[in-house]
Amino acid sequence: MPLARNRRHQRAVDYWPGFVDALSTLLIAIMFILTVFVVGQFILSREISGRDEVLTRLNSQINELTQLLALEKGSNQDLQDSVANLQASLASAEGERSRLQALLSAGAGGQDAAKQQIGTLTQQLDEQKQVSDRALSQVELLNQQIAALRSQIAAVEAALQASEEKDQTSQAKIADLGRRLNVALAARVQELNRYRSDFFGRLREILSDRENIRIVGDRFVFQSEVLFPSGGADLNPEGQAEMAKLAAALLDLAKEIPPEINWVLRVDGHTDNVALSGSGRYRDNWELSSARAISVVKFLIAQGVPADRLVAAGFGEFQPIAPGDTPEARATNRRIELKLTEK
């Protein structure tokens, strides 16, 4: 008997779980980093998309203002041409009036006719002066409108430059936030992995002499026959003893984990693919697997484990770890898995 016990302890020393634990830790860290990168890229793409829309609107406004300025310049040129024509006509009218006045002074015979022409020319001259004054007023108004448009264009260009500078600042902040988030998440992952390793190490010491308890990756796997009667979800005395050991190890570890780490122990119930009879307590394997996971959680709560640190989940027969329909494969798939993870 001592020789058999020593051989069983020698078989329990297995380096493969440690390798799997390290590999899973690396994969989790890579997944966190990829998640942060994708989130950062998503936020950056939204910021850039918003900035592009603002730039597009500002460029559209600049184009419209430029077109308005060109139209105003054309109108201003037309008015200036009209003013020049009016001034030329005015000069011609004044010359004609001077000629008539000379004729008037030269001969009294044509005085009446000259007076009538002078009156007509004087009236036309006044009308042209009024038209010229209105044209000058329009030119002044157009000049004011052009000045206002130039001010608006300058304001839009200043806003565009400020928006570009703000966009560059935002991109720099996003990049810095992404770097800090990566560092913080990596630190959190490393810290949680350290406590997970401590938890696994303590459970290995407690449960190392049990052949029906296995370590698969980052989970402890209990065969259902160890914890429950066939078809039932109430822990048997042997199962209660095993869960009491687990609760003690979990309570010791909980004292060391910082409160800011939102850790939970996930309890997953699994069954084989044999359908339950309709006359039993549970209608199908979904209900049985869920009831067994809840039973373990409630027992751990009764042992003092905080309820907000426990999660129960039932998977029925849909997550097998052993393929096939042999009795051995079905016995392997009937199990309770425990995994220390983060919310």
Residue 269 Cα to chain centre, angstroms: 34
pLDDT above 80: residue 105: no
Q: What average pLDDT does range 115-140 have in this prediction?
A: 77
- Average model confidence (pLDDT) for the chain? 80
Rounded CA-CA distance 199/204 in Å is 9
Amino acid identity of 76? N
Rounded CA-CA distance 286/317 in Å is 8
9: confidence class by pLDDT, cuts 50, 70, 90: very low
Rounded CA-CA distance 235/295 in Å is 7
The token pair at 142 is 């157009």
Q: Specify the DSSP element, H or E, that contains 230.
A: none
Phi and psi of 286, rounded to 5°? -60, -50
Q: Which pLDDT does position 150 carry in this prediction?
A: 82
Rounded CA-CA distance 231/321 in Å is 20
Q: What average pLDDT does range 327-334 have in this prediction?
A: 94
Q: What is the pLDDT of residues 138-160, one digit of tens each?
A: 878 878 888 887 888 888 888 87
The token pair at 128 is 């042209």
Q: Which pLDDT does position 184 carry in this prediction?
A: 55
336: confidence class by pLDDT, cuts 50, 70, 90: very high
Query: At 297, is the secondary structure helix, strand, or coil?
Result: helix
pLDDT above 90: residue 82: no
pLDDT above 70: residue 315: yes
Q: What average pLDDT does range 177-197 have in this prediction?
A: 62
Task: Tell which residue, 323, 314, 91, 128, has the closest CA to residue 224.
Answer: 314
Cβ neighbors of 150 (< 8 A, separation 6 or more) are 69
Rounded to two decimals, the pTM is 0.47
Q: Which pLDDT does position 296 carry in this prediction?
A: 97
